[in-house]
Structure 1
Amino acid sequence: MMNFIPQIYSDELLYSALARYKRMCGMVSRRAFLKDVYGESKMLTSIFFPQYLQCLRENLPPYSKVTVNELVWNHTMLPFYTSFLSQERSDSIHGMMVKGCGKSIENLVGFSGGKVKPYNRLRYCPRCYSEDMDEFGESFWRRLHQVPGVLYCPKHGVLLKSTIVPSTEKYADYWCADSDVCNAVVENDTYAERVKELNRTYIQNAMFLMSGDYKKKELHNIVDYYVDRLRERGFASQRGFIYVQDFVDEFLRFYPSDYLSLMQSDVNVTQKANWLRLFVRNNGKNRSPLRHLLVLQFLGVSAEEFFHEQSATGKIMARVNHAPSFDLEQRRKAWLKIIEENPGLNRSQLKEIGKGLHTWIYKHDRDWYDHVTPRVRKRKKRSPVIDWEKRDEECLTLAKQAVESILNREGKPIRVLPATIRQEIGVRRWLDNPKLVRTRRFIQQVTEDINSYRIRKIKWAIDELEREGMSVMVYKVQLRAGFGGNNKELAKLIVRVLDIGHLSP
């Protein structure tokens, strides 16, 4: 059981609070940390969608008043990514986070199949970081800064910055928002004023979604709402049939192309099934909350207005009974003739040849259609056999280059660990494959223990103080190295390093 829990700041990711707890406890082992927090030592961990929150709540100190619902709705990314899902599906994902499901929730909210991807590195605002350090003596990871499409900090209006901390790994380590990965340097803003203006409105709508204070809508209600608004703007007929080309053209006039690129929502006008054309159709395609907000902003509707408006008309269908031009047998003969004259073609190709006929038979005579229409499946090409010895040699070279880059990097040292080596290369956990024998052996050999890393940071801090012409004193070295000023064991280690004259450990 946890003996204490640090204060969880407003809009702080639960991951961030747990990372600060891990640092306060001085835990090095990830397995021991998970056992302390969840009661389990081996499990999936997620930055955006943590699971087994009921177990975590039961492990909190008895005096803690934090509830599971508070953790889910105020300290994870669930409110944003489920905002346009049905209540039933949202409740299902909520339940998986509370009880745990043993599989990645990210795939359930559209990370894998969607074209709009989350940022793969945690992000922060330099000014928020500076203010946090002045007020709290530490900083933290904010949820809003991780929302896709949020380019600026809403409080300070400066560009958000990416770190080296990965955000989408299944077995994520716990990184604090400290000086190892963050700084207070504000980047130059080169975006046009129109981009800033559009993104400010987007951020306000995203903030409303993160509040979770609204009633969910079913997909058909959402599409009906869009049809109503398009009808009001003259982009749909009175019956609700959308003038798609006019809609797309006006959308592209409203949003600059470079802004759509930043928002991962380029519209390919030469593509018949681009995302915008499909977006306002009642189909089961995955829709990102980001693109919902883009469409709403184009329609001049805020997210709050959208969710508070519950009535929608949508398309008005007219029922017309048409007398069939041909009888069933004639249609069957015509379809069999198409099959006979085009041997070897698959169903999609046959459909292109007899479009109207195919549609009618498929709808009204489905069993017969399935019986007579051939299925032609192309055999999948076999994946080439991997030369693991060659792959091992290539990965070993990359790992050596990564270690050299980490050790020679300017600024505060970064600990040489399997995770930092992977991040430097830009790969995920497949680098741990048992068949990469030499690469794994090298990584094990160069991995720094905590004492060696501390000594390297101490030496760096001493060199920095000497370079700046400052007196080298124990407490100054502690502060420059980022250890704080109250750790007596580290103070003894600094004295020992100073006594041996910067010799290697």
Structure 2
Amino acid sequence: MLAFFPSIYKDELLYSVLARYHKRSGNLSNKHSTLDLFGKKKAYIIPDLPTDLEILLEKVNPFLNSSIDEWINYHTLYNYYTNFTSKEIKQSVRNKMLYGCGNTSLHYSTGQMAGTVKEPMYFRYCPNCFEEDIQVNGETYWRTYHQLPSVFICLKHSVLLVDSSILIRQGNSSYFYSNIENSLEKGNKSDVSKVNFDLLRHFAVESSNLNQKDYKFDQLNLLEIYHYLLDREGYVKSNGTIDQRRLEEDFIKKFKVDFLILMQSFPSGVEGQCWLRAITRKHRKSFHPVRHLLFIYFLGESVDTIEQYANKRYSPFGEEPYLCLNPAAEHFLQPVITNLKVTRCYDTKRPVGTFSCACGFVYSRKGPDKTEEDKTNIGRIKMLGDTWLSKLHQLVEIEQLSYKACSKILKVDTKTIIKYSKQRNSKPMNKENHIKSDLKQKWLDLINQYPILSRTELRKKDPSLYMRIYRNDKEWLKEHSPVVKVNRVTNKRVDWVQRDLHILGMVKKAVEDISAKEKPVRITVSSIGKMINNKSLLEKRVNKLPNTMKYIESVKENTTNFQKRRISWAIDQLKDEELEVWKIMRKAGISERFYSGLEIEIKRQIISAKQKF
């Protein structure tokens, strides 16, 4: 039974409280302290996501008036690393923190191990906080948000954080580093001289909020929110895809290169590896909180405001129905239009709405609509329609009003009135007269000039001539075009015995090349096929290549064998470091779900490697 337990300071990391207990207890060994706190000599004392919290709370409950939820929300980094993950991952991490997991699977679950954004190497502190702590409390402690990878300043004093000499990740995860005061003298400040200080403060606030609140973000809703805001900001094209090139350019321009490098989030790499492109598409993997915070800020929002856009569809012109702006119609200025097509202006990237009414009147304008008056504006009239032309005929020919008077009534320029009144008085031209006979003769001459070309090939010779005839007399063009040619395929017999031997030689060479690659590649039918640039042959002509397939069956690897080869490669790569299971798993790129099946093999290879090295 414990004789005492220290009070927890505001925003103190739970790991820091345990370290202060160890220092005050007088225990000479960490094993004695872990036995006091957890009832066992070895516990995983992890700074960011500590485990066995249920056992610990039961031990210290007589000395503290706190709950598990308070510990997790205010004294660990749980919310920071799980707020942007799925509900299943969030619950899984919480359960492991409460009841223990016995390995590093916590950090695999949150994506920390596989991600390119790394946590700070050393515990960080604020020099001003340190002095205040010593004066008020006689001791100092590690604050939670100071250890977040997206925080570089102290919010209380607006000064840069300093690195201590204590590593966050120790070789022995059961060790308490209790002499905090003695570790602060060797610290170094981060080099942020080229970075906007206001940005640093903003992300410190956002990161602190993210760490102390359970936002319950849903991954699918979050992606929809991102698409809504991208659409609002003009990054979604008319076909629904995102203008990734412009997005990347504007993203880098907004933050500047130095800041993105500091945040370990410069958008680079091939298309499938660029995090900025991936975060705007279906979320097939987790993204580090730093990158969500950057993207949310870029879209003009914060972690506190982003959820208000859930389940929203971007409508730059509001919801239908829309106003008909045809002065000649009885429903003028009435909301009757339901046909709206939204595109993007090529120059300004603003949304352009094309409104089509049943009366035939079609108009467009640039958006988005910001006021009620915007809804009555016309940017461009695309089609006047029969209703408008009928009204024009009545005003000009029956009522015999002047062109100027008509222009005021129909709300167009006088030149437009003159143009369409003259068109109405002109005689309609029949189809045969509309297409001059010399154009048809040109088409016939083109056929005579190139007798062996198809209709499509002739079209490429003179596209404008083809389209002028096609739009006005499609039937004539069809009757006076070359007949479609039917390609006849000559059946050439293949000597499959000879081809089998030839492919076998190529396959053996491919297997040698795959085996010689620096990083292991699994030997499969697919990988061999890609190497010889003839994957379909190996997949679809199995019966024709007996010798080749027999050889492939003898050399191809199943999942287990390939994982063992990757483990061997990873150990060889880490021979200059301390060999630990989690390091080998991460280097080999093996998921934690395979750990139990490979645990014996990994330990066997570690023992063998130590004897070898």
TM-score range for the pair, normalised by the shorter chain length: 0.5 to 0.7
Does 1:140 find its partner at 2:319?
no
Task: Give the corresponding residue for 1:252.
Answer: 252
Task: Give the corresponding residue for 1:75.
Answer: 75
Task: Give the corresponding residue for 1:11.
Answer: 11
Distance 1:23 1:434, change over 3 A: farther
Distance 1:436 1:165, change over 3 A: farther
CA distance in 2, matches of 1:190, 1:354: 49
Residue of 164, 178, 181 corresponding to 1:179:
181
Does 1:156 find its partner at 2:157?
yes
CA contact (8 A) 2:122 2:164 kept: yes
Task: Give the corresponding residue for 2:49.
Answer: 49
Distance 1:305 1:352, change over 3 A: farther
Per the TM alignment, residue 262 of structure 1 is displaced from its structure 2 partner at its CA by 0.8
CA contact (8 A) 1:123 1:162 kept: yes
Distance 1:283 1:36, change over 3 A: same
Task: Give the corresponding residue for 2:120.
Answer: 119
Does 1:203 find its partner at 2:382?
no
Task: Give the corresponding residue for 2:371.
Answer: none
Task: Give the corresponding residue for 1:108.
Answer: 109
CA distance in 2, matches of 1:110, 1:221: 20
Secondary structure class of the residue paired with 1:122: strand
CA contact (8 A) 1:251 1:298 kept: yes
Distance 1:188 1:287, change over 3 A: closer
Identical positions, percent: 29
CA distance in 2, matches of 1:385, 1:232: 50
Tell me the amino acid that sits aligned with residue 235 of structure 2: F
Per the TM alignment, residue 244 of structure 1 is displaced from its structure 2 partner at its CA by 0.9
CA contact (8 A) 1:3 1:60 kept: no
Does 1:310 find its partner at 2:310?
yes
Per the TM alignment, residue 3 of structure 1 is displaced from its structure 2 partner at its CA by 1.8
CA distance in 1, matches of 2:196, 2:108: 30
CA contact (8 A) 1:227 1:240 kept: no
CA distance in 1, matches of 2:156, 2:78: 22
Task: Give the corresponding residue for 1:347.
Answer: 526
Deviations 1:30-66 (A, max 9, x none): 1110000111112322111111111111111525322
Does 1:29 find its partner at 2:29?
yes
Per the TM alignment, residue 195 of structure 1 is displaced from its structure 2 partner at its CA by 2.4
CA distance in 2, matches of 1:25, 1:165: 21
Per the TM alignment, residue 348 of structure 1 is displaced from its structure 2 partner at its CA by 6.2
CA contact (8 A) 2:154 2:160 kept: yes
Deviations 1:250-275 (A, max 9, x none): 11111111111111112226666322
CA contact (8 A) 2:224 2:310 kept: no
- Pairs within 5 Å for 1:280-299: 280-299=280-299
Q: Say how many residue pairs are matched.
A: 361
CA contact (8 A) 1:228 1:240 kept: no
Unpaired stretches in structure 2, ≥5 consecutive residues: 315-488, 490-495, 511-524, 541-547, 579-605
Q: What CA RMSD, in Å, does the superposition of the two structures yield over aligned residues?
A: 4.0
Task: Give the corresponding residue for 2:353.
Answer: none
Distance 1:187 1:115, change over 3 A: closer
Distance 1:208 1:352, change over 3 A: farther
CA contact (8 A) 1:120 1:168 kept: yes
Tell me the amino acid that sits aligned with residue 163 of structure 1: S
Per the TM alignment, residue 142 of structure 1 is displaced from its structure 2 partner at its CA by 0.3
Deviations 1:448-503 (A, max 9, x none): xxxxxxxxxxxxxxxxxxxxxxxxxxxxxxxxxxxxxxxxxxxxxxxxxxxxxxxx
Distance 1:112 1:184, change over 3 A: closer
CA contact (8 A) 2:7 2:64 kept: no
CA distance in 1, matches of 2:313, 2:528: 37
Per the TM alignment, residue 245 of structure 1 is displaced from its structure 2 partner at its CA by 0.9
Which of the two has higher C-alpha Rg?
2
Task: Give the corresponding residue for 1:131.
Answer: 132
Q: Which has the higher contact order (CA 8 A, sep 6+)?
A: 1
| Structure-1-length-normalised TM-score | 0.63
| Structure-2-length-normalised TM-score | 0.52
Distance 1:185 1:85, change over 3 A: closer
Per the TM alignment, residue 353 of structure 1 is displaced from its structure 2 partner at its CA by 11
Distance 1:41 1:284, change over 3 A: same
Per the TM alignment, residue 213 of structure 1 is displaced from its structure 2 partner at its CA by 4.1
Distance 1:230 1:66, change over 3 A: same
CA distance in 2, matches of 1:199, 1:353: 51
Task: Give the corresponding residue for 2:99.
Answer: 99
CA distance in 1, matches of 2:191, 2:102: 42
Unpaired stretches in structure 1, ≥5 consecutive residues: 315-329, 331-336, 366-371, 395-431, 438-505
- Pairs within 5 Å for 1:218-233: 218-233=218-233
CA contact (8 A) 1:159 1:186 kept: no
Deviations 1:273-329 (A, max 9, x none): 322111211132231001000111111111111134432459xxxxxxxxxxxxxxx
Deviates more, 1:133-142 or 1:264-273: 264-273
CA distance in 1, matches of 2:571, 2:189: 46
Per the TM alignment, residue 162 of structure 1 is displaced from its structure 2 partner at its CA by 1.1
Distance 1:39 1:287, change over 3 A: same
